[in-house]
Structure 1
Amino acid sequence: MSLIRWSELDGRVGLDLPGDLDLPMAQPLVDSLRAAFKASGDVTVRADSVERVSAACIQALVVASRDAAERGAAFALAAPSQTLLDACEDLGLAAWLNRWSRA
């Protein structure tokens, strides 16, 4: 059972991330992202609830954004939490996050 909530509106898929994106959540995140892109070319990941995040989950988001760019699909991280902002900064991914995030 995944803690990642799925919503769909007008052909757009939204994924709401849970507060805890630790290592065991990496595979469910990858699976959810794959399913979302299979269902729609427009995927928004809402990350305002993230309170803990592993590098593996950030890696899954980076791969999803790169894959979306290569395929011409729309991908966005909506309202990333301060925890996610700090983790991306620590990993040297602030520029990546700035490119893909929106308020």
Structure 2
Amino acid sequence: MSLIKWTEEDGGRIRLGLPSDLDLPMAQPLLDSLRAAFKASADVTVQADAVERISAACIQALVVAARDAAERGAAFVLAAPSEVLSEACEDLGLAAWLKQWSRA
């Protein structure tokens, strides 16, 4: 069972709720969930306010999802990124990327 919550919303949008701990072993389940979400919908929101710990591999999965969404013309949003996620992105030089894809 994945710790990533999946919700189908009005208009076919998929919302993935991230758990508080996105350590290295969560990178593959996150990537799998993102791929499944984009197979089900061209409109995916990742709810990121609960993230208290995140690995670089999980950030990489989010970056790949955003890139793939842009290439396919799909909608991708990181909703309410936590302070931990924001700081990790800043540490990795991805502050501009986070700003582009996030919504408060």
* TM-score higher than 0.5: yes
Q: Identify unmatched segments of 5+ residues in structure 2.
A: none
Alpha-carbon distance in 1 for matches of 2:3, 2:9: 20
Corresponding position of 1:65: 66
Moved over 3 A (4+): none
Structure 2: distance between partners of 1:2 and 1:27:
10
Q: Counterpart in 2 of 1:4?
A: 4
Query: TM-score scaled to structure 1, two decimals?
Result: 0.99
Counting matched residue pairs gives 103
2:92 maps to which residue? 91
Q: CA RMSD in A?
A: 0.3
Tell me the equivalent position of 2:15.
14
Task: Give the fraction of aligned pairs with identical amino acids, expressed as a percent.
Answer: 81
The 3-state SS of whatever aligns with 1:56 is: helix
User: How far, CA to CA, are the matches of 1:85 and 1:9 in structure 2?
Assistant: 26
For 2:42 and 2:54, locate their aligned partners in 1 and report how far apart those are by CA, in whole Å. 25
Give TM-score scaled by structure 2 length: 0.98
